[in-house]
Structures are given as C-alpha cells and as structure tokens.
C-alpha cells in the first residue's frame, strides 16, 4: 500500500513528474521524472541554474500548471486530475504563491492586492487576520505605499506586496519564486526572517526558489535542480558551503547573473 503524504510528513509532493514543451526536434524537457516532497513545517530552498526547471516545478506543485506525465499532491489530495474549479478552491484555501513576475493586479492598489485572496474567497479578514496583515505590511515596510498601484511602486516594493499577499491568509503551503530577487540586503533579510518564522513558529511549509546562497542558507533543506532533475538534496548549509558546492558542480554557473 502506498503511504499518504500525511504519513510521509509531506505538505506537497510529486511523483515521476515530467514536463515537456514543444514537440519533435524543438522539444524542451523542463522536468524529467522528478520525484520529491516538501516536508511539512519545513523551509525548503530550491536552487539551480537558470532554465533548470525550478519555476516549472513550483507551478506544477502549486496546481498552477499541469504536468505532461506524473502525479502531484497537495497534502493528501492528488491535484493531477482535479477540475479547474476544484483546483482553484484548493489553492485559494491552502496555498500562497509569490511569482517571479509578482502577478499583481495593475488596477488595484497595494492594499487591495494584499486583500485579494480574501475577496476571491468571498470573505473579509477576521480581526486576527487583520492584525496579521497589519504586522506583515509593517514588517515589509509597505505602510506608506498601501494606496499606490503597482506601476507607482518600485520592483522591490511590488515584490513585497506580492509576499504580503501570499502570506496574508497564513496558508499551509507557500511557494515563493525568487522572493528576494529585487530586494536590497536589508529588506531581503526581513523577507527571509518572515519565511523562516512562518515555518518555525506557525508550522507552515515553505518552498523558495533562489539563486542566492545567503538566502538559501536560511532554509532547513536545499534542493538542487539541474537539467530538469533533482541532483542534490541537502540539510541546512552555510552560504559558504552552498557556494563551494555550486562552484564545484557548476550548478551556479548559469544562475548567478539571474
Ligand atoms: N511556456 C514555455 N514554453 C516553452 N518552454 C518553456 C516554457 N516555460 C519554460 N520553458 C522552458 O523550460 C525550461 C525550464 O524553465 P523554468 O522557467 O522552470 O526554469 P527556471 O529554473 O525557473 O529558470 P530561472 O532561474 O531563469 O527562472 C527552460 O528551458 C525554459 O526555456
Ligand atoms: Mg524561474
């Protein structure tokens, strides 16, 4: 009998996941038979060169994209095969996502973007949730920017709005694609501390893509992707250890500039 995700202590997992784009000679294999789980309550970093499949893996794990072959679960629910509506509801209740491209709604100001997950769910935040959102906004330094629309915000501010939106409902599972990519080192540290606290203090499961060994050193576990496969799976490492490993394996080679 196959063990469930809960029995395995996993918040999300994929089994023999393959994703290809295009066909024939132009076929790109973004993911090649990937089997991996995101452990419940852990902060997992995902590293690897540009084009190694990190975003593709996160999109499929979060139910935002469908694999070509293979299976995916969020908790004990198999998401491959769910209808769009079922997926939308599951995602809305359980998953927060920070996109590499932020995906803010251009016509809404920062405050409304942050509250969007509640609006989409047809409810208002409770007093407790309001307090949490206020703390997030303050920690992320967005208090003075709440009534600005995305085009009136810097890239780093937009990124912080996207992070506040992903964490606003305190979802079980948070996927963050390069959440510190546009931030100065101080705001980057604040964001990493938020993600760390989300897993350590609130038991949320966090998966974060990053090219930055310093950011990845905040994680409990670091997965390395190379050419659409998981090529290493390491417990917490220092930034120096991660850099040395990336250099030795050339896993950082194509990624450092991104
Ligand atoms: N919609 C698409 N159509 C065709 N090819 C795609 C598409 N999306 C991704 N790919 C290809 O799949 C591979 C993996 O892309 P992916 O975006 O997952 O990489 P990544 O590891 O997130 O890279 P980066 O660090 O640059 O964000 C790349 O070769 C990319 O060109
Ligand atoms: Mg990417």
Q: What is the pLDDT of residues 50-64, one digit of tens each?
A: 999 999 999 999 999
Residue nearest (by alpha carbon) to ligand 1 atom 7: 21
Residue 118 counted as domain residue: yes
Tokens found for residue 204: 């949320």
Residue 1 counted as domain residue: no
The enclosing H or E element of 246 equals: helix 239-249
Q: Quick one: CA dihedral 200, 206, 207, 208, positive or negative?
A: negative
Residues 206 and 242: their CA atoms lie apart, in Å, by 19
Which residue is associated with the tokens 């629910």?
77
Asked whether 21 lines ligand 1 (CB < 6 A), one says yes
Asked whether 125 lines ligand 1 (CB < 6 A), one says no
Q: Can you give the residue range of the structural domain that contains 248? A: 7-257
Give pLDDT, residue 252: 67
129 Cα to the center of ligand 2, angstroms = 30
Asked whether 86 lines ligand 1 (CB < 6 A), one says no
Residue 110 counted as domain residue: yes
Asked whether 6 lines ligand 1 (CB < 6 A), one says no
Asked whether 144 lines ligand 1 (CB < 6 A), one says no
3-state SS, residue 176: strand
pLDDT (tens digit per residue) in 126-137: 999 999 999 999
Tokens found for residue 205: 């499961």
Residue 209 counted as domain residue: yes
- Residues in the chain where the model's pLDDT stays below 50: 254-258
Asked whether 52 lines ligand 1 (CB < 6 A), one says yes
What CATH number has the domain bearing residue 68? 3.40.50.300
97 Cα to the center of ligand 2, angstroms = 13
Which ligand is located closest to the Cα atom of residue 17? 1
Which ligand is located closest to the Cα atom of residue 53? 1
Residue 2 counted as domain residue: no
Nearest of 133, 138, 140 to residue 118 by alpha carbon: 133
Residues 146 and 142: their CA atoms lie apart, in Å, by 6
Nearest of 87, 119, 93 to residue 105 by alpha carbon: 119
158 Cα to the center of ligand 1, angstroms = 22
Asked whether 50 lines ligand 1 (CB < 6 A), one says yes
Domains held by the chain: number:
1
Asked whether 56 lines ligand 1 (CB < 6 A), one says yes
Which ligand is located closest to the Cα atom of residue 59? 1
Give pLDDT, residue 177: 96
Best of 51, 52, 209 for a ligand 1 pocket test (most atoms within 8 Å of beta carbon): 51
Give pLDDT, residue 257: 42
Asked whether 181 lines ligand 1 (CB < 6 A), one says no
């Amino acid at each position: 009998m196959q063990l469930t995700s809960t029995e395995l202590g996993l918040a999300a997992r994929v089994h023999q996941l393959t994703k290809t784009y295009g066909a024939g000679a132009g076929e790109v294999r973004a993911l090649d038979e990937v089997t991996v789980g995101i452990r419940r309550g852990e902060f997992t970093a995902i590293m690897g060169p540009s084009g190694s499949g990190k975003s593709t893996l996160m999109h499929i794990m979060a139910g935002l994209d469908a694999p070509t072959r293979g299976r995916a679960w969020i908790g004990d629910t198999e998401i491959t095969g769910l209808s769009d509506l079922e997926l939308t509801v599951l995602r809305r209740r359980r998953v927060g996502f920070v996109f590499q491209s932020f995906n803010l709604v251009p016509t809404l100001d920062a405050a409304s973007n942050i509250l969007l997950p509640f609006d989409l769910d047809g409810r208002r935040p409770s007093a407790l949730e309001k307090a949490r959102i206020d703390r997030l906004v303050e920690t992320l330094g967005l208090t003075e920017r709440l009534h600005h629309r995305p085009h009136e915000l810097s890239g780093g501010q937009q990124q912080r709005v996207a992070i506040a939106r992903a964490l606003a409902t305190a979802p079980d599972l948070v996927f963050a694609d390069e959440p510190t990519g546009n931030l100065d080192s101080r705001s980057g540290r604040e964001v990493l501390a938020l993600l760390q606290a989300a897993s350590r203090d609130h038991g949320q499961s966090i998966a974060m893509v990053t090219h930055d060994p310093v950011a990845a050193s905040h994680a409990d576990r670091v997965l390395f992707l190379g050419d659409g496969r998981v090529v290493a799976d390491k417990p917490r490492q220092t930034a120096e250890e991660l850099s040395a490993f990336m250099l030795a394996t050339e896993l950082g080679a194509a990624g450092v500039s991104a």
